[in-house]
């Protein structure tokens, strides 16, 4: 038997069971081995049932008890609906307790009156009489001799195949393969050098330990997936992913691009003449980085991070000008139609006398000559810069010679869209812009092949938004502060965590349904309501009226996070602020303080917190004190770890089977470092198995849930 053999070659797997397993994606031996136990039970110490007045004996794992008992009166009891439970009485010779299993009617046939069983579960006081009861313990028939305690793996089901069956199969495969092939029963692909350097077990040792833990195993470590065995599996998985990224990066470096740029002094002069202001130092630097990429031989793949208002769009506009002067078309994609329109308007103002622009949207707000005509002009190469939403530009618009694609707010732009761009056979230079910064260390490790530029300087003349955290019973203060801004001609957002009161489990959270009218009355200004369940046309209408000032207050959910630019918006109230992550709070705050009109006064953001945890308090303290997106991202990273930070910032990240970027962060970093070195050593003798592992590109124990190399390439960044 080999890891690559079909699952039916495992002992006890016939065509029927094999079919069931295969249907659930478990086709080969290695797929079964990759199905790790979800937890472990420590049954090394036998305990006894607690007496009526006693607490459970503390010698076993937290709360759980392993005990040998006689079972009396096993019976099935019917509850309401289709539910039933199996009950029995357990007697360990000294004390007695009730046992109950829910929804496992088949157990009844396996329980014999008066026979001995090993039970493992957490005792609890029964409602009613307060007697001890074990609910849903694992149960195993034992013979006359005292059972040997062990660390037992507990599996999840595989499709229809129940956990106990999975346990027998996985354990059986490990012992059969060990018997047939010795202690190195599965091919090691990790080079000895890396393994030794990190002090990691071999693949065979790791898989043996997770599936058949040794009597000395630390159950705590196993359960937290921090055992050396788990570390080995996680590191191995990360290493293969990082090797793939490194290989793709290298290949891309060798590939040329089908177009080139001419960057001469005339363009530089034209660009400078375009702007009514001077670029900030950060903008100059990032622009140089972009121009360097454009004039280079391979397609650009660059992420520009910068807070809202740091001048990203301006930089993109200059890049588009450079493209146009090189005879190339550009496309700028925004996450919503409204944003696309806004971009179009401001870009037309900036570039209109120098370039030909077109707006492509799906709705009625189209240019008078019609959508088809616009598309035709783009296809004929008569439009320099096309602005639109992601979908439109990718699906139906053809370009004569697309050189540069700019993607705004990439966290709203999924992997799928990036892929479809590549599938159109286009290899434009790609500029991705985001106002939700990811700490540099994180971006490099996760994106691997993406270059990162940072705009960490605000244009002059903008005063930072003042932020205050208040408690829910001080909301009159918030009203006063907002009314003051409104009197000066400003506009305000009130952000609610929920649409209606029924949504969250905590009833205390303010919802739009419940308190919108209170806020509308208290603020005494024309209000509009916007949330996810308002239709798009109505939402766009309300947003436009907010932008033109016929509505002064927007009562909304976080849908405004990526919204239109309203320079007059100078106040924001965030209700239930304790519920939001730092990144999201900061993103919301970015909606205000965008204008430079001094008459409107200083902008203010009021976070209303409804009593909260120490964690939330720390978060809000950072929010109150800092206006710097990078500082906030770093703090988020420190407080919540990379997994959380990434989770809220990028939904399209690679998923891992064994490793967890948050828990196994240091292994991810190690894998990244090692991969760049290993890539050069791949051809060396001794690394054949690693090479094969990479080349195999199929899901399984090694590449696990990773996509094959070919699609990985189009997925990047
Ligand atoms: P972002 O896309 O990062 O949110 P924008 O490029 O839209 O930022 O710029 C925000 C505002 O600041 C715009 O009105 C823009 O014209 C202005 N701006 C950008 N760069 C500068 C600068 N260097 N000096 C003055 N104003 C600037
Ligand atoms: Mg922008």
Written as one string, the DSSP assignment of 75-116 is: EEEE-STT-EEEEEEEE-SS-EEEEEEES-TTHHHH--TT-E
pLDDT value at position 701? Answer: 27
The answer as to whether 603 is a domain residue is yes
d(CA 568, CA 222) in angstroms, rounded, equals: 56
CA of 456 to the centre of ligand 2 (A): 14
Return the closest-CA partner of residue 378 out of 437, 313, 328, 435: 328
CA of 311 to the centre of ligand 1 (A): 4
Q: Are residues 33 and 63 in the same domain?
A: no
CA of 409 to the centre of ligand 2 (A): 8
Q: Are residues 175 and 81 in the same domain?
A: no
Distance of CA 370 to the CA centre of its chain: 39
The answer as to whether 682 is a domain residue is no
Counting ligands in written order, which one lies closest to the CA of residue 274?
Answer: 1
CA of 334 to the centre of ligand 2 (A): 9
pLDDT value at position 377? Answer: 92
Q: Are residues 91 and 206 in the same domain?
A: no
Q: Are residues 532 and 567 in the same domain?
A: yes
Q: Are residues 347 and 419 in the same domain?
A: yes
Q: Based on the number of CB atoms within 10 Å of its own CB, is 227 exposed (0-12), middle (13-18) or buried (19 or more)?
A: buried
What is the position in ligand 1's atom list of the atom closest to the CA of 315?
6
Domain boundary among 148, 169, 190: 148
pLDDT value at position 213? Answer: 93
d(CA 571, CA 641) in angstroms, rounded, equals: 31
Mutation test of ligand 1: which of 276, 286, 314 has the most ligand atoms closer than 8 Å to its C-beta? Answer: 314
Residue 704 gets which letter from DSSP? T
| Cβ atoms 205, 230 nearer than 8 A | no
Written as one string, the DSSP assignment of 354-398 is: TS-EEEE-SSS---TT-HHHHHHHHHTT--SEEEEEHHHHHHT--
Q: Are residues 316 and 176 in the same domain?
A: no
What is the position in ligand 1's atom list of the atom closest to the CA of 308?
4
The set of protein residues with a Cβ atom below 6 angstroms from ligand 1 is 277-280, 283, 306, 308-314, 459
CA of 327 to the centre of ligand 1 (A): 26
Query: What H or E segment, with its residue span, contains residue 431?
Result: strand 429-434
Residue 411 gets which letter from DSSP? G
Residue 101 CB contacts under 8 Å (≥ 6 apart), including other chains: 85, 86, 87, 107, 135, 136, 137, 139
CA of 308 to the centre of ligand 2 (A): 7
- Coil/strand/helix, residue 316: helix
Order across the sheet with 466-471: list the strands.
466-471, 604-609, 569-575, 491-495, 553-556, 527-530
Query: What H or E segment, with its residue span, contains residue 515?
Result: helix 512-523
First to last CA, the chain: 39
Q: Are residues 616 and 503 in the same domain?
A: yes
Domain boundary among 626, 657, 691: 626
CATH at 527? 3.40.50.300
Task: Please give the structure tokens belonging to residue 194.
Answer: 């890396």
The answer as to whether 322 is a domain residue is yes
pLDDT value at position 440? Answer: 64
What is the position in ligand 1's atom list of the atom closest to the CA of 280?
23
Identify the residue whose C-alpha is closest to ligand 1 atom 15.
311
Task: Please give the structure tokens belonging to residue 200.
Answer: 């990691």
Buried-state track 105-114, b at ≥16 Cβ within 10 A, e below 16 = eeeeeebeee
Mutation test of ligand 1: which of 276, 311, 436, 629 has the most ligand atoms closer than 8 Å to its C-beta? Answer: 311
Q: Are residues 306 and 337 in the same domain?
A: yes
Residue 430 backbone zone (phi > 0: left; psi -120 to 50: alpha; other: beta): beta
What is the position in ligand 1's atom list of the atom closest to the CA of 317?
6
Domain boundary among 103, 120, 148: 148
Q: Which residues are in the CB-under-5-Å shell of ion ligand 2?
A: 312-313
The answer as to whether 700 is a domain residue is no
Mutation test of ligand 1: which of 274, 283, 309, 465 has the most ligand atoms closer than 8 Å to its C-beta? Answer: 309
The answer as to whether 508 is a domain residue is yes
Question: What's the average pLDDT block by block, 10 residues per block, for the chain (717 residues)?
Answer: 91 94 92 93 81 65 77 86 84 89 84 88 79 85 67 89 91 94 92 94 96 90 93 93 76 76 89 91 95 90 85 95 95 85 91 93 58 87 91 74 84 51 67 77 64 86 87 93 96 92 60 89 94 86 93 91 82 93 86 85 93 82 88 76 57 66 81 88 81 59 30 26
Identify the residue whose C-alpha is closest to ligand 1 atom 26.
459
Buried-state track 430-447, b at ≥16 Cβ within 10 A, e below 16 = bbbbbbbbbbeebbbbbb
- Cβ atoms within 10 Å of 18's Cβ, excluding its own: 17
Q: How many domains does the chain divide into?
A: 4
What is the position in ligand 1's atom list of the atom closest to the CA of 590?
4
The answer as to whether 130 is a domain residue is yes
Q: Are residues 435 and 485 in the same domain?
A: no
What is the position in ligand 1's atom list of the atom closest to the CA of 567?
14
Q: Are residues 538 and 617 in the same domain?
A: yes
CATH at 75? 2.40.50.140
pLDDT value at position 594? Answer: 81
Q: To 10 degrees, the CA torsion angle through 289, 290, 292, 293?
A: 120
Identify the residue whose C-alpha is closest to ligand 1 atom 22.
459
d(CA 396, CA 174) in angstroms, rounded, equals: 53
- Cβ atoms within 10 Å of 598's Cβ, excluding its own: 9
The answer as to whether 568 is a domain residue is yes
Q: Are residues 364 and 390 in the same domain?
A: yes
Order across the sheet with 138-141: list the strands.
123-125, 132-135, 96-102, 84-91, 65-78, 116-121, 138-141
Buried-state track 685-715, b at ≥16 Cβ within 10 A, e below 16 = eebeebeebbeebebbbbbbebbebeebbeb
Q: Are residues 205 and 143 in the same domain?
A: no
Counting ligands in written order, which one lies closest to the CA of residue 459?
Answer: 1
| Cβ atoms 407, 320 nearer than 8 A | no
Question: What residues make up the domain containing 400?
Answer: 265-455
The answer as to whether 61 is a domain residue is yes
Task: Please give the structure tokens belonging to residue 456.
Answer: 């960490």
């Amino acid at each position: 038997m080999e890891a690559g053999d079909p699952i039916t070659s495992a002992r006890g797997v016939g065509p029927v069971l094999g079919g069931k397993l295969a249907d659930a994606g478990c086709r080969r031996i290695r797929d079964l081995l990759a199905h790790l136990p979800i937890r472990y039970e420590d049954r090394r110490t036998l305990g006894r049932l607690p007496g009526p007045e006693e607490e459970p004996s503390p010698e076993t794992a937290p709360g759980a008890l392993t005990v040998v008992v006689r079972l009396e009166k096993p019976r099935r009891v019917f509850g309401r609906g289709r539910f039933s439970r199996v009950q029995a009485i357990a007697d360990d010779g000294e004390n007695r307790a009730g046992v109950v299993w829910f929804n496992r009617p088949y157990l009844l046939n396996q329980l014999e009156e008066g026979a001995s069983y090993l039970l493992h579960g957490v005792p609890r006081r029964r409602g009613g009489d307060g007697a001890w009861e074990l609910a849903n313990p694992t149960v195993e028939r034992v013979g006359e001799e005292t059972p040997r305690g062990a660390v037992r793996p507990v599996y999840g089901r595989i499709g229809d195949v129940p956990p106990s069956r999975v346990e027998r199969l996985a354990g059986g495969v490990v012992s059969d393969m060990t018997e047939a092939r010795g202690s190195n029963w599965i091919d090691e692909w990790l080079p000895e050098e890396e393994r030794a350097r990190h002090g990691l077990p071999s693949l065979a040792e790791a898989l043996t330990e997770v599936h058949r833990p040794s009597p000395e195993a630390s159950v705590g470590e196993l359960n937290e997936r921090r055992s050396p065995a788990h570390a080995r599996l996680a590191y191995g998985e990360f290493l293969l992913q990082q090797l793939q990224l490194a290989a793709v990066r290298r290949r891309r470096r060798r590939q040329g691009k089908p177009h080139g740029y001419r960057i001469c002094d005339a363009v530089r002069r034209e660009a400078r003449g375009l702007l009514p202001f001077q670029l900030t130092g950060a903008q100059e630097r990032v622009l140089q980085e972009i121009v360097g990429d454009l004039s280079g031989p391979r397609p650009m793949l660059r992420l520009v991070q910068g807070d809202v208002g740091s001048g990203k769009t301006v930089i993109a506009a200059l890049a588009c000008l450079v493209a146009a002067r090189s005879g190339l078309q550009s496309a700028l994609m925004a996450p919503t139609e409204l944003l696309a329109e806004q971009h179009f308007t401001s870009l037309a103002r900036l570039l209109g006398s120098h370039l030909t622009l077109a707006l492509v949207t799906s709705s009625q707000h189209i240019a008078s000559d019609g959508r088809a005509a616009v598309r035709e002009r783009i296809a004929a190469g008569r439009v320099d810069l096309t602005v639109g939403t992601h979908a439109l530009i990718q699906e139906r618009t053809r370009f004569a010679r697309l050189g540069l694609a700019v993607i705004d707010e990439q966290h709203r732009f999924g992997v799928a869209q990036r892929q479809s761009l590549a599938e159109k056979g286009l290899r434009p230079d790609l500029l991705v812009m985001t106002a939700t910064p990811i700490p540099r260390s994180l971006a490099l490790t996760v994106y691997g092949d993406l270059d990162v530029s940072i705009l960490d300087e605000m244009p002059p003349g903008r005063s930072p938004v003042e932020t205050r955290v208040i408690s829910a019973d001080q909301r009159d203060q918030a009203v006063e502060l907002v009314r003051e801004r409104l009197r000066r001609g400003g506009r305000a957002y009130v952000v609610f965590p929920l649409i209606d009161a029924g949504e969250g489990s905590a009833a205390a959270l303010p919802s739009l349904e419940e308190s919108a009218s209170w806020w509308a009355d208290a603020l005494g200004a024309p209000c509009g309501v916007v949330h996810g369940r308002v239709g798009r046309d109505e939402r766009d209408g309300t947003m436009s009226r907010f932008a033109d000032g016929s509505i002064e207050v927007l009562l909304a959910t976080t849908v405004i996070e990526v919204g239109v630019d309203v320079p007059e918006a100078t106040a924001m109230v965030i209700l239930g602020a304790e519920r939001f992550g730092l990144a999201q709070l900061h993103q919301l705050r970015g909606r205000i303080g965008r204008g430079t009109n001094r008459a409107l006064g200083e902008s203010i953001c009021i976070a209303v917190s409804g009593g909260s945890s120490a964690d939330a308090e720390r978060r809000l303290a950072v929010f109150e004190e800092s206006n710097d997106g990078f500082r906030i991202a770093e703090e988020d990273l420190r407080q919540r770890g990379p997994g959380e930070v990434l989770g809220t910032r990028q939904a399209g990240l690679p998923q891992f089977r064994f490793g967890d970027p948050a828990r196994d962060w240091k292994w991810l970093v190690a894998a990244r470092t090692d991969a760049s070195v290993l890539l050069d050593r791949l051809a060396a003798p001794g690394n054949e198995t690693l090479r094969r592992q990479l080349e195999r590109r199929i899901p399984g124990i090694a590449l696990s849930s990773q996509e094959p190399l070919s699609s990985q390439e189009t997925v990047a960044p």
